[in-house]
Structures are given as structure tokens and as C-alpha cells.
Chains A and B, each alone.
Chain A
Amino acid sequence: MRMLDLGDGAVTIEFGETIDPALQARVAALDVAIAQAPVAGLIETVPTFRSLTVIYDPLQTTRAELDAALRPLIDAADHAPAVDGRHWRLPACYGGAFGPDLDEVATTAGLTPEAVVAAHSQTDYVVYMLGFLPGFPFMGDVPAPLQLPRRSEPRVRVPPGSIAIATGLTAIYPWESPGGWHLLGRCPVPLFDAGRDAPALLAAGDRVRFTPVPADEFAALAADLAAGRIDPQQWCTPAQEQA
């Protein structure tokens, strides 16, 4: 564990330098511990793959005081049980206009498009962190045959809802944005809504699995979601039922 300076208002507590569920679990445990402890001057925490950044108000506390408050929490978090996130089964419409890179990914991986969809949708992903865009989940790990470098030419516009892969990760774009990942399909569920109590659908530590749906079902789901006839929570299953 290292404590890295991030200016006069933040410190990054780094547990490692790789993408690893064990590191993510330690980050989550420390995040919970800090949320439950009164830490003077704390503004917010940002969990990532391998580190937790603690943002503080330098007018309310000092780094020395903060470090002293964090040390016992870091030590305790090392022995904390893993935080079990929620489990999601999200609908995904693969291929066609929604997944313009599916065929190319299949060719590169030496698989049929059907096999790529099967491999991508039959894997349980952990949400390592949210970032890049509001509500954007970095999830992994994708099966080895689908682990490809980013596209050599990033797209200027990736449509919202796009399900994408790059390296060992998969993600869903909540917003239209530039992006260099390979697009396999589309998820109709809005990942971010500022009007919800929890604006981001997913949280670090959640588990996600995709359920392939045909285009007509995707359209019906999208329409029902837009009209408020479906609560996205319907795709969330209590962890104990899924073990």
C-alpha cells in the first residue's frame, strides 16, 4: 500500500498497479470503512480498480491529520470481508447496427459472431469502477479470446447504450461520446439519471451479466423504459438468490 500525493486536497491510497478483483475488494472495503467513520474535512472518496482517492478540504483539515485518521481504517480494511455488490442481468441486443464491430471482433478472435455473443454474455463481470463519463462502468474480465487492443481509429461518436470491449474490459456508454472500444451491441437500460436517488444504475463492486435479446424486444424495452413503465431495478437480483 502506498499513499500518493494528489495536490493539497486529495491523497490516493494505492493497493496495487493491476486490474485484479482482489485489489478492487480491498478498495471497496476501505471505501466502506471511511463512509462509516467520521473523518474530519472529508469531501468524497473515489474508488478505482486498484486505489481509493480521498478528497478533502485543506481548509478543514490537513494531510497529516487525514493520514492519521486513515491509517487505522486502512489496516482494518485489509482484514475486512469482501463487500458483496448487487447482481444485475441486463438485456443486450448484439450485432447489426447496434454492434458494428461484432463481425470484425469475431474475425480477429477466430470465432463466429454467435460464439463472440455467447462468450460475452455468458460471463459474470465485476464493476471495477465508474468514471470517464457519468455512470460509465468499467467491468471485467472479458474472456481471453475477446481481449483485444483498442481500435486504432477511435470513433468520434459512440451512441449511448453501446456495449463495448477493449483489453480485458467491457463497458456500457451512458452518453454519446468519442470512444475507441469495439462495439458489440446495445443495452436499453439508462445507466444514469440525475433524477434518481442513486443517479448511476451500477456501483463499484456490483456484478453484471448480459442477457441477449432480439431487436424487437430491445425496441419494446426501450419504449417501456422511456415511458416509465419499467423500473430498471427489475434487472437487479438480490445476491443470495444468485449464488
Chain B
Amino acid sequence: MSRLEIKSPGALASIQDAGRRGWRRIGVPWAGALAPHLLRIANTLVGNAAQAPAIECFDGGQQFVARDGAVRLAVAGNAQLEHLTADGRQPVAAWRSLTLAEGETLRVVHTGDGRLAVVAVLGLDGPPVLGSASTYGRAGLGGVDGRALQAGDGLPVADAPPTPELQLRSPPEADPGPIRVVLGPQADHFTAEAIDTFLATDFTITPEADRMGVRLSGPALTHRDAAAREIVSDATVPGAIQVPGNGQPIVLLVDGQTAGGYPKIATVISADLARLADRKPGQTVRFAALGVVEAEALARAAEQAVGDALRRIAPVGGEGMIDLDALYTRNLLSGIIDGREDD
């Protein structure tokens, strides 16, 4: 059995799967991958079940080394990667699987214009805690001893098989559009001007942005009156946008607390939450409001898009086969076929 050694966890790396459900009533957040579609794509590329535990890289700097045998892994996300071998280092593409021979290293140099990449490793497993291997450090649940990965951790994984590497052609493209929200549950705690400002202003991602939530900076959103600045705590969900008394919104994410006493002006729709979590400090975000029915349609469309992406995964090079799906999609998107894309 091979091992994947964490040579460096970079800024933050943790084991995440689809997260734990059913425990918010006792204060346990879902945790899980911030970008569930990346988890499913990376796992499928490497040959795991789509929701298997994988390594979420939050910002770059991670280094992973194959020990006691070869290791197959795959990276989903627009990350810049390097493969370090005895012959030196070469850049390798994301959105495909890759086999590290014993002693070789994969380095996540950076995560491009975003923060998130998922590294799936063939055979990576973790004992489920409350139904999930996802790391939730505050209560010491999941992952490795309930914590984020540290240099020196060695994760038991499968020996890399002799099967062909897999690749996702035409990976999902970044959508620069506004982050869509459903107003409420406490939009009525704000002035009409505050709602207008919320939907017409670029907010900046502050450095206080992690798996718990993202603090934004922008024009203060004014509560209706002093009494409206707090509520008797009610339930939150990932995507809920709290506005404390200072008027600066906080978007809760998958590790965020399950209840809170600040009014929530709106909730980011499920289809757009990963895009928000992927924004870096200093980048901006603009919100747009829509209704629940439209949001549900977008959730279904997003699921359809992930399913389509998973079906486009095919052996690298194709061994003489023509990947008609990829050809068709690529043609529609860009009108150009790059014959060297399999490098």
C-alpha cells in the first residue's frame, strides 16, 4: 500500500468530502468541500467514488510526495501545478489524473485567480465521523485527528494501477457574473436604501475569509432601526449573509456556525456559493437578487452541468479515439481545437 506524504500543507489543506448532514440541530456544521463540483470531478478523474474524501487546497503552496509505491492523484480547479521528478520539475495540467512514482512530488504552486482546488487521491479514505470524513477542526471531527493536514502526515492510499490516465476536456469556466442571492430571511430589518445598496455595489473580500465565512467590506448597510441590528438567534445555512451592527456583511460558508443573532439580509443560492468561496481577499463581489423558483432552476442547471462534465471525462489522448463530446463542446465554445491540449 502506498502513502501520500504531506510535505507541505501550504496555506491550508484539509480532508473534505460532501460533508455531514443531520447534525445542525446540535450545532454541528456540514463542513465538506467548499466547491462540491471540484470534489466530484477530481474523484472521478482519479477513479474514486465521486463523493469520496479528498484534499481541499485553500490557496496554494501544497506539496505531496508518493511514498512506499506509486500514487495516482488528480487535481480539479484552475491550479498551477508542478511535477517534481528525478529529472527536474515540469508543469502539469489540472483537470486530469497523474501518477507520481515513488519519491516524486506534486506541487500546487498556486490556485490561479481563485482559492480552491481539490486533489483527489486514488484509495484515499477516512473513517466517517457523524457520517463524514470531512475535517471540522473546532470540534475535532473527521480528517486526520480532527485537524487540517500538517507537514509529515502520511495518508494511506492505493497503489497506482496500470490503467490509462483520465482527463476532463473543456473544464468548467469561471463565471465572472454577479453572485445571485435570495433576499431574506430578515431583509425587512434593513432600509430600502440598504437593500438597493446591497444589490448595486461592489463589495470587497477582506482578509478575514476562510472556511467559516467571508467578511465583506463596502458601504454600510443600514438597519431599519437600532432594535433591528440583532435578532433572537435563529438558524443559519451556508450562504446566509449576516449583517452585524457595523453594516458590513458576512457570508457564512460550510464551517460557519449553525445559528446566529445577526439579521440575514439574503442567502447566496446553492449554485453560486462555491464561486463566492473561491474569491480571494481584495477581489470584489456584486450581488443580484432572484426568487426561490429561479434559484431552484439554477440549482438543477448546475447539477446538470456537473453531470455533463463527469460524462466528458475520458482517457488522456484517447488512444486514437475521437472524443466527440469534447470536440463538439470545444467547437461551440471557442471555435478552435488545440491539437496539443493533451500534453
Contact = CB atoms under 8 A, between A and B. Distances in A.
Interface of A: 4-10, 12, 14, 17-19, 43-51, 53, 55, 58-59, 62-64, 129-136, 138, 175, 177, 192, 194, 199-200, 203-204
Contact of B234 (A5, A43, A44, A49): A49
Contact of A6 (B130, B184, B231): B184
A19 B27 contact: no
Taking chain B's interface residues, is the majority helix, strand, or loop, or is none over half, making it mixed? mixed
Nearest to A131: B259
Point out which of B21, B184, B258 has the most chain A C-beta atoms below 10 A from its C-beta.
B258
A10 B25 CA distance: 14
Contact of A5 (B26, B185, B299): B185
Given A5-B185, A43-B21, A48 B235 contact: yes
B190 to A, nearest CB: 14
B233 A49 contact: yes
The 10 closest A-B pairs by CB, nearest first: A131-B259, A7-B267, A4-B185, A8-B295, A53-B235, A200-B26, A5-B184, A46-B235, A58-B299, A134-B139
Nearest to A31: B25
Contacts of A134: 23, 26-28, 138-139, 141
B26 A130 contact: yes
Interface of B: 21-28, 129-130, 138-139, 141, 181-186, 231-235, 237, 239-240, 257-260, 264, 267-271, 292-293, 295-296, 298-300, 303
A9 B234 CA distance: 16
B292 A17 contact: no
B238 to A, nearest CB: 9
A194 B141 CA distance: 8
Contact of A7 (B234, B237, B293): B237
Contacts of B232: 17-19, 48-50
Contact of A131 (B231, B258, B270): B258
Contacts of B233: 48-49, 129, 131-132, 138
Nearest to A51: B234
A175 B182 contact: no
A122 to B, nearest CB: 26
Contacts of A5: 182-185, 267, 292
B27 A7 contact: no
Given A43-B21, A64-B293, A133-B139, 14 more contacts: A4-B185, A8-B298, A9-B299, A10-B237, A10-B267, A44-B23, A44-B24, A48-B232, A48-B233, A49-B233, A58-B295, A133-B27, A135-B26, A200-B26
Contacts of A10: 235, 237, 267
B291 to A, nearest CB: 9
Point out which of A18, A53, A192 has the most chain B C-beta atoms below 10 A from its C-beta.
A53
13 contacts: A7-B237, A8-B182, A12-B234, A44-B22, A58-B296, A63-B296, A64-B293, A129-B233, A135-B27, A194-B130, A199-B23, A199-B26, A199-B130
B26 A58 contact: no
B79 to A, nearest CB: 28
A8 B269 contact: yes
Contacts of B296: 8, 58, 62-63
A192 B139 contact: yes
A43 B139 contact: no
Contacts of A50: 232, 234
B313 to A, nearest CB: 21
B141 to A, nearest CB: 6
